[in-house]
Chain A
């Protein structure tokens, strides 16, 4: 293995392309990852944190204003009863899906490249779900009664509507948040122990000491850890499909033209993974640049992610097309009107922003030039984020604003509170992510080491096949690397 490999995106049949570039000693991986939080925070970090923390404060100010004045401060009204609130909810829940897909499904399918990005993608999932969870809670008229969503014994002898997808949503999203958090934290324990061992100040030693739960890296620890990780991955896998399917039921189970379609669950899941990978790229490209992680998050990782974006973009584009086909083929005039109105009606611009960003722009990833151009990937990922936000806006608002009776037609205009609340949710998301960069291991060090060449060839505890389930190897690599 030469250390001069720079482009690892080629599929060379004679040798596997390395997943870590440059000097491939194990110590270097630890040093690289730990340098992200060990170096003093830069001015750039403080500026970014200042902006996002201010936006977070703005979010809470807007929520406080909402609670004081009521839902009327938002632009939604009859007939558009759902607008920015649910758009933002679905958008953020969708973002989270890439993390679960990378951590669970790619793990079970032995996609070794996931190790460099899974930790940050899982963190993104948690933070996105935190942002998502806010919106359903604040959009109910009396948020202090939000606990009524849960079935608990009460003096009213009342239960929530078990036949309502809104209740399924409560369970789907809370399960998702719980499992994602457990998976993220449990996978982090060995790395937290590394941080504990490298910590030089007492508060850090105590904090990471508590968080690493007494991890000493013994064989028994690893045995338990790997088993638990596999089980959690298996538990989390159905969630990738179930959560956004249930979110789509919020719409599909109703009888509204534009919502009442059977394609919604797979269409929403594909869109969620699409938007999630776009957000992963939006976050990782600057981070790998700024913190010098290019040897860990290599061009191959970016290349793989752009391929997933291309594939899911085609699925989403197919769904858009098939919706129109069914609207025509069903012969239902209301259905046909809903879709013609969606693309040519008063919100035509939103529809075409969505199509451009989600279907047309990602087609550039057919070409290697764009797949290997970091700037192009970054811009495309931003556009996909925009497009996916507009997708939810289009589905929700354009389906609602033309009721069956023209006397019940209306338009939705966002108020300043609507816009600032959405902006604030981005502030919360980036605040959490910036804190994550400074205080937790950004890359799963232990897992990256397990996919490096000399570890894969090493005998010993892994001789009967490594943690990824590979067949045992006969020869030993001459250099075992320094632990």
Chain B
């Protein structure tokens, strides 16, 4: 059908209000991708997703009390940290070393006593949980003088332990590429409030040289 005048007059013309859709479309086309990018950037970031993770534990154990106020060394409970990949979560027997006498009848320790009696371990919830394809070794880091506080934060002030660092791959690589600011003499690794008595950069450099610390950034260092 050719377009003659009568045909032309019946042509559909977009109503006036549809002009308003054009700026709306422009806003959508520019703002939409921006919004999605911001959403993915912020919402998908380990800073948003992982920092602050503080699960409720079956026993209201306070690190602030034990490690902070009472001054227990980390290694009293996490005894394998210097010699094994995994920093052991203590068996109930370790708790009972003290709690057989101290606050032996406390309501809060009912589960500990029950666990001790039955031999069933307390179901602690893991806070610092790396993906299964990451092989992290505590002993390799602790024996080279990376303090507990560098990754776990001030645990000695935490009533409930929460995650303070992202534990993301980029975060691991930051330190593997430049470990000097995180190094300290190995005898101070568990000391939460340790400060270097000298220029931290110079100390880190010296420690690195002395102990020949050259962290690898090959894939197979962490992924086997």
Mask: chain A, 177-205; 1 = CB below 8 Å from B; 0 = not:
00000000000000000000111101001
Q: Is the CB of B11 within 8 A of A200?
A: no
Nearest-CB residue, chain B, relative to A199: B12
Q: Whole-angstrom distance from the CB of B35 to the nearest CB of chain A?
A: 17
Q: What is the CA–CA distance of A30 and B46 in the complex, to the nearest angstrom?
A: 58
- B123: A residues at CB distance < 8 A: none
Mask: chain B, 189-222; 1 = CB below 8 Å from A; 0 = not:
0000000000000000000000000000000000
**A27-B2, A31-B2 known; A209 and B14 CB under 8 Å?**
yes
Partner of A154, one of B2, B8, B11, B170: B170
Interface presence of B118 (CB below 8 A): no
Partner of B170, one of A155, A197, A202, A205: A155
Interface presence of A321 (CB below 8 A): no
Q: Is the CB of B12 within 8 A of A206?
A: yes
Q: Is the CB of B2 within 8 A of A155?
A: no
Q: Is the CB of B45 within 8 A of A157?
A: no
Q: Is the CB of A155 within 8 A of B12?
A: no
Q: Is the CB of A155 within 8 A of B1?
A: no
Q: Is the CB of B12 within 8 A of A209?
A: yes
Nearest-CB residue, chain B, relative to A200: B1
- B168: A residues at CB distance < 8 A: 155-156
Q: Whole-angstrom distance from the CB of B163 to the nearest CB of chain A?
A: 14
Interface presence of A158 (CB below 8 A): yes
Q: What is the CA–CA distance of A205 and B3 in the complex, to the nearest angstrom?
A: 14
**A155-B45, A155-B168 known; A198 and B12 CB under 8 Å?**
no
**A-facing residues in B151-184 (Cβ within 8 Å):** 166, 168-171, 173-174
Q: What is the CA–CA distance of A31 and B174 in the complex, to the nearest angstrom?
A: 67
Q: Is the CB of B169 within 8 A of A155?
A: yes
Q: What is the CA–CA distance of A305 and B215 in the complex, to the nearest angstrom?
A: 62
Q: Whole-angstrom distance from the CB of A256 to the nearest CB of chain B?
A: 24
- B2: A residues at CB distance < 8 A: 27, 30-31
Q: Point out residues on B near A: beta carbons under 8 Å.
A: 1-3, 8, 11-12, 14, 45-46, 166, 168-171, 173-174
A-B contact pairs, 17 of them (CB 8 A): A30-B2, A31-B2, A155-B46, A155-B166, A155-B169, A155-B170, A155-B171, A156-B170, A157-B169, A157-B173, A197-B8, A197-B11, A198-B3, A202-B12, A205-B11, A205-B12, A209-B12
Q: Point out residues on A near B: beta carbons under 8 Å.
A: 27, 30-31, 154-158, 197-200, 202, 205-206, 209
